[in-house]
Amino acid sequence: MTQLEDFKSNDPIAWCPGCGNFSILKALKQAFVELDKQPSEIVIVSGIGQAPKTPHYIRCNTFNGLHGRTLPVATGIKLANHELTVLAEGGDGDGYAEGGNHFIHAMRRNIDITYLVHNNQVYGLTKGQTSPTSGLGFVTKTAPSGTISPPLNPLLLAIAANCSFVARGFAGEVEHLTGLIKTAIQHKGFAYIDILQPCVSFNRVNTFQWYSDRIYSLSDETDHDAGDISIAFKKAQEWGKRIPVGIIFRKQRPTLDEQQSATVRESLVEQKIDPSLFGNIFESFK
């Protein structure tokens, strides 16, 4: 069994004290331990923002790439070596603004990776600008009179984009989040969790308390059928006095990597290459 200690990184943490990211980090490590994953079999791909610093604080393989481009990199990694456990991690700016196009297409492909979005409804690393999930009227440095455009509902988008696993977690509920992350990693296909993450520096509206007053767990509601897309659409639209957390929608379908890798003998990186065997390829040109 792996221990929490196995995932300990030497890199000093550069988040604000009290940041919601700490609990997400804790849940992620705990999920790895409970799934008995080895650090060397995991790759976390992240973009740019506060959330994408997360993999530096875990001992495992990491690719900390460009802003918004986590999902294509993670897709390439998984296709090249489907033995790896691949996660992508970023914030709402990284995933829903800069990387919006990749989000839609990764869900469509159903590549077998887990995507964690730390959603704090504001830009943290660049110090407090509007995010695609900022609420109407939310005042920021780039929306001094309040945000005019309504927020993106990423869960609704995910269900519509045929995402095979759509969930919402809350940084304030570490145990619940750990369970969600575990289920997401075990899910065969694109598993997406939008994680509500209070930002203590730039979001004074959606605080720990604000969320705590509103969230409820779908698992407590025995009648929630995550396999029913119309119920899922309804649950995904619930945002106000009550905010559901848990698995909102789940539907198994063939993954990109299993369909692609069905055509290759073994993981791409395991293959031996011998050009001298390729003589036949020239025949059709003669």
Partner 1 sequence: MDVDVTIRIAGQAGQGIQSISAIMGKIFTRHGYYVFVNQDAESRIRGGHNFDQVRIKDQPVYAIRDKLDYLLCLDENTIERDLPYLDQDGVMIYDGTKSEFKSDNPNFFSIPLEQIALEHGKSKIMLNSVATGAAFALLGFDLQPLLDRLAEEFSAKGIDVVDRNKISATAGYHHVQENFKGISVAKIPPASFSKKKMLLNGSQAMALGAICAGLKFYSGYPMSPATPIMEFIASQANEYDIIFEQAEDEIAAINMVIGASFAGARAMTATSGGGFSLMAEALGLAAMTETPAVIAVAQRPGPATGLPTRTEQGDLNSVIHASHGEFPRAVLAPGHAEQSFYLMAKAFNLADRYQTPVILLGDQHLNDSYFTVDNFELGSISIDRGDLVFDDQIPSLKDYRRYAWQESGISPRILPGRSKAVLYADSDEHTEEGHITESSDVRQSMVRKRMRKLDGLRQEMSAPIVYPAKKSDVVLLSWGSLYGASKEAVELLNRNGISTQMMHFSEIFPFTAASFANKIKKKSKIFAVENNYEGQFAEIFTRETGLAVFHKILKYDGRPFSPQEIVHQVNERI
Q: Which residues pair with 115 in a beta bridge?
A: 88, 192
DSSP track, 179-246: HHHHHHHHSSS-EEEEEE---TTT-SSS-HHHHHHHEEEGGGSTT--TT-HHHHHHHHT--SS-EEEE
We find the least distance from the C-beta atom of residue 264 to partner 1, in angstroms, to be 4
In the window 65-94, what residues touch partner 1 (CB under 8 A)? 65-66, 69, 71-81, 83-84
Name the minimum Å distance from CB 136 to partner 1: 29
Shortest distance in whole angstroms from residue 90 CB to partner 1: 13
User: For residues 238-267, which are near partner 1 according to CB under 8 A?
Assistant: 256, 260-261, 263-265
Residue 35: Cβ-neighbour burial (10 angstroms; 0-12, 13-18, 19+): middle
SS3 83: coil
**Near partner 1 by CB under 8 A: residue from 28, 33, 45, 195:** 45
Burial class (CB in 10 A: 0-12, 13-18, 19+), 263: exposed
What is the spatial distance between Cα 60 and Cα 7, in angstroms, rounded to a whole number?
A: 7
Could you say whether residue 134 binds partner 1 (CB under 8 A)?
no
Q: CB nearer to partner 1: give 101 or 186.
A: 101
Task: Examine residue 148 and tell whether it contacts partner 1 (CB under 8 A).
Answer: no
The phi and psi torsions of 191 (rounded to 5 degrees) equal: -110, 120
Range 132-135 contact pairs with CB under 8 angstroms and sequence separation of 24 or more:
132/92, 132/93, 132/96, 132/97, 132/100, 133/92, 133/96, 135/205, 135/206
Determine, following the binding rule CB under 8 A, whether residue 213 of this chain makes contact with partner 1.
no
Q: Is 269 one of the binding residues for partner 1 (CB under 8 A)? A: yes
The mark string for 4-23 relative to partner 1 (x by CB under 8 A, - otherwise) is ------xx--x---------
Tokens of 280: 């036949």
- Subset of 20-39 contacting partner 1 (CB under 8 A): 39
Query: In the complex, what is the shortest distance from the CB of residue 231 to partner 1, in angstroms, rounded to a whole number?
Result: 29
Query: Which residues contact partner 1 by CB under 8 A?
Result: 10-11, 14, 39-41, 43, 45, 48, 53, 55-56, 59-66, 69, 71-81, 83-84, 101-102, 104-105, 109, 256, 260-261, 263-265, 268-269, 271, 273, 275-276, 278-279, 281-282, 285-286
